[in-house]
Amino acid sequence: MAKRTIMAAGNWKMNKTPSEAKAFVESLKGLVADAGSEVVVGVPSVCLPAVVEAAKGSNIKVAAQNVHWEASGAYTGEISCAMLKDLNVDYVIIGHSERREYFGETDEMINKKARAILDAGMLPIICCGESLTQREQGVTAEHVRYQIKVALLGLSAEEVSKLVIAYEPIWAIGTGKTATNEQAEEVCGIIRKLVAELYGDDVAEKTRILYGGSVKASNAAELFAMPNIDGGLVGGASLKLDEFEKIAKA
């Protein structure tokens, strides 16, 4: 069985100015230089040039928080994959529940974005997750399977083995509620099983699946130790140097 590298990915959301972001990454570099995990910071688009520059020569990878699927055109306010690639961005977070909820993003759009990101030579971090109502209705598995199945449409086995999937139960984002280790492991296992159905066991063993939703320094090690959880997509805690350092080393 291939050993998957644990990923500690921060999703800063709409926080930190470019100068604050630069200072944060300058400080973070030394703290995580010996981290065993792959460290990623997902920063606002205006912070990307400063953060890519600050992270140069370190083990920190940089992610954008969104992208448009078209190469160029009349899409005021949007950013293309070529623009991100030109900045040397490594990853792009797509399909976050906040994008789906506040900006009407659909599974089909997320699939188009995944295709464009891979074509540009970057890797997508594809988010999925259920609401509290959906969990109470007992449709978590069906809902998450549907989201991921559509997101991966048309992608090759090799592409899927390199990309990252992040399971984030919406009811655990920013609420302080965390899915239990068992709940998180169960859904990450369901996702891995789906990847195996679609692409075979070999690809499923290579694909990294993260858990997100109130991941903190205090619970990261236990979560990351679960067989199907390959790290975390971390919100609030990724904005604090000491917290994120501990998570990266968990």
Q: Please write the tens of the pLDDT for every residue from 109-120.
A: 999 999 999 999
Domain extent listing, the chain: 7-248
Residue 94 CB neighbour total at 10 angstroms: 26
Instruction: Give the pLDDT of residue 3.
Output: 85
- For residue 175, the number of C-alpha atoms closer than 13 Å in the C-beta half-sphere is 13
Walk along the chain (250 residues) and give the pLDDT tens digit of each residue: 558 999 999 999 999 999 999 999 999 999 999 999 999 999 999 999 999 999 999 999 999 999 999 999 999 999 999 999 999 999 999 999 999 999 999 999 999 999 999 999 999 999 999 999 999 999 999 999 999 999 999 999 999 999 999 999 999 988 888 889 999 999 999 999 999 999 999 999 999 999 999 899 999 999 999 999 999 999 999 999 999 999 999 9
Q: Which of 193, 128, 130, 196 is nearest to 164 (CA)?
A: 128
Query: Which residues have C-beta within 8 Å of that of residue 170, sequence separation ≥ 6?
Result: 97, 101, 129, 130, 131, 132
96 part of the active site:
yes
pLDDT tens-digit readout, 142-189: 999 999 999 999 999 999 999 999 999 999 988 888 889 999 999 999
pLDDT at 2: 56
Domain 7-248 belongs in CATH node 3.40.720.10: no
Has 143 been annotated as catalytic? Answer: no
**Three-state secondary-structure class, residue 231:** strand
pLDDT at 153: 98
CB 8 within 8 A of CB 39: yes
CA distances from 157 to 110, 152, 164, 187, 205 (A): 18, 10, 13, 21, 12
Report the pLDDT value the prediction gives residue 176, as an integer from 0 to 100: 82
pTM value?
0.97
Options 98, 130, 159, 168, the catalytic residue = 168
